[in-house]
Chain A
Amino acid sequence: MIEVSGLTKTYRVPVRPPGLAGAFRSLFSREVKEVHAVSGLDFRIEAGERVGFLGPNGAGKTTTLKMLSGLLYPTAGTLKVGGFVPQERHPSFLQQITLVMGQKQQLLWDLPASESFELNRAMYGVERSEFRRTLDELVAMLRAEALLERPVRNLSLGERMKCELIAALVHRPSVLFLDEPTIGLDVEMQVQVRQFIADHNRASGATVLLTSHYMQDIAALTPRLLIIDEGKLRYDGALEALSRQVAPERRVVIRSVVPELLALGFEVQGGGMVATVPAGETNGLIQRTLALAPLVELGVEMPPLEEVIGRVFREGRPGGKR
């Protein structure tokens, strides 16, 4: 569905010397610096896949997404989405995709969201009866019945995101580019949006490429992970494989403090204790722990996703395919 090879985007940005004098000078002669937002990305995404796109700020995630949706011209490399070259912006291509940006909005600010839906219906040429059906479905899935007739400016951030998602999906796209769709939402709303994206994907079979800062989004939604840093692909593979590869240890957690366990390598943390051991030694540690303190409540955890990802960024390539 999506094929990317050697994808590169270089921005030319003006460099402005600091201060008033510098600003004045740059009015006449501007120095331009090249910023390599994305350099040499290669990946393939099959139809119906859900893929998480992860990376620190400025890694090139949004730039890649914008190239995939035809907004930006790549500097080099080739890309194809659903058989089309995105930057040609062929109407049949644009008809297939949708773009949701958590930081921007497509809804008409002063009007009820239903007006934006109707405008999108006309722009995508969706037949009225089909539009009605799709809309009813989406509204029910998001429990958004009460939101449609209120001016968008009077909606809360979470309510607005629900309407943004509806507006983005009324034409039943087969490829969804979601750029931080949960940003700024409270935990409850994040869960709802996540659930919706998962349900929608299951029902529609659409391909989903999602960027997020929230690891929970990635953990809950996307079995496959692309990690990008400084415009380069650092990892492409399953989330679990990454954890095993980069962080082959487990955390054994106890909910209470038992001083005898300090001898086994446990450390006091909050109201409980934690020991970190290589994955292979987990069972041994559990047995020894239960021998010393048979009544403790005990759990085994993978290292937090943030930590795993952080390691990828610190150490560069973990050896996953490029």
Chain B
Amino acid sequence: MSRELGAFRLEVVGALVRVSLLSAMQYRASFFAEFMVGALSAFGVAVPLLLVYARVPVIEGWNFDGALLVTGFFLLYNAFVAGLVEPNLGAVVDGVRTGELDYLLVRPVDAQLLISLRKVAPAAVWELVAGVAVVVVALARLGVPDWGTMALAAGLFVAGLAATYGLWLLVICTSFWFVRVDNLRFLLTAITDAGRWPVSVYGRGLRLLLTTLIPVALVSSFPAMALLGTLEEGHVATALGAAAGMLVLSRWVLRRALRNYASASS
């Protein structure tokens, strides 16, 4: 363990984030175009919600404001995925195919840290802003809860992020065996989109799926429920369990995957 900690240095994180920001800002046109796309995508998450609640006031016990909270957290999750997870883990797939991973794996730095923090997509800041705005608006309409409740919601949100990051890493690891897994990525994006709606609108089976194997409900519905005071017994344990399980499992699989790394011939 001490070896792993030795390989994880704050200085390295800083240096990685620095160059990824510098790289993202190298091309002006693409930088601003991505900003536009980010803004549109944030808008795209909010519109369907407005359309649905214009017709139906309450769905499965969720009124508009509650659903707005879920949307806000989902936007924040999207910012995390679009800003960090997708650019980095997506690059791993190419890295395996082209052998570009070679230079990452010879560094005396933890491999998981390197492949997870190499790139940043600054355009995701729109979704971050939109997410914060939506959560704030929803809370303003619902009444601001006490600090403890907010801390619980934040904790659940972070646990949800950890669990979904683990899931992404697991999916990406399959590329070490199957090389091209781009479509699996798109499939995952499509499925996790289910997180934009409160989890109780889905049937039992789906609900179980979205809180365990594809834990996207943890990141959107659970924090919202914490703020609304509708969390049920076992929800916190589920969230923590899923986060820990996904992190440990994905790290273990990554290690197996690296053993299987075949590089690409030069």
Smallest distance from the beta carbon of B73 to chain A beta carbons, Å? 34
17 contacts between A and B (CB under 8 A): A11-B262, A62-B266, A69-B106, A89-B111, A91-B109, A95-B108, A104-B100, A110-B23, A110-B27, A115-B22, A116-B19, A119-B16, A119-B18, A123-B109, A124-B108, A125-B108, A151-B26
Chain A 94-124, CB-CB to B under 8 Å as 1, else 0, gives: 1101110111111010110001101101111
The reply to whether A122 and B11 contact each other, CB–CB distance below 8 Å, is: yes
Q: Is the CB of A71 within 8 A of B102?
A: yes
Measured CB to CB, the residues of A under 8 A from B are: 11, 58, 62-63, 66, 69-73, 87, 89-95, 97-99, 101-106, 108, 110-111, 115-116, 118-119, 121-125, 151, 179-180
Q: Which of B2-10, B49-57, B124-132, B134-142 contacts A (4 or more CB under 8 A)?
A: B2-10
Quick one: which of A90, A95, A179 contacts B3, CB cutoff 8 A?
A90
- The complex places the Cα of A158 from the Cα of B9 at a distance, in Å, of 34
Q: How far is the CA of A104 from the CA of B264 in the complex (A)?
A: 10
What residues on A are CB-neighbors of B191 within 8 Å? none
B106's partner among A11, A90, A97, A180 (CB-CB below 8 A) is A97
Chain B CB within 10 A, most for which of A71, A94, A110: A71
Q: How many angstroms from the CA of A210 to the CA of B102 in the assembled complex?
A: 17
Question: 4 closest Cβ contacts across the A-B interface?
Answer: A122-B15, A91-B108, A94-B108, A106-B103
B22 to A, closest residue via Cβ: A111
Contact B266 A111 (CB under 8 A): no
Q: A-contacting residues of B (Cβ < 8 Å)? A: 3, 6-7, 9, 11-12, 14-16, 18-19, 22-23, 26-27, 99-100, 102-103, 105-109, 111, 258-263, 265-266
Q: Decide if B3 touches A99 in the complex (CB within 8 Å).
A: no
When distances are taken between beta carbons in the complex, the residues of chain B under 8 Å from A123 are 12, 15, 107-109
B102 and A104 form a contact (CB under 8 A): yes
A92 proximity list for chain B (CB < 8 A): 108
A98 surroundings in chain B (CB, below 8 A):
106
B131 to chain A, nearest CB (A): 29
Quick one: which of B3, B11, B263 contacts A91, CB cutoff 8 A? B3
Q: Is the pair B262, A94 in contact by a Cβ cutoff of 8 Å?
A: no
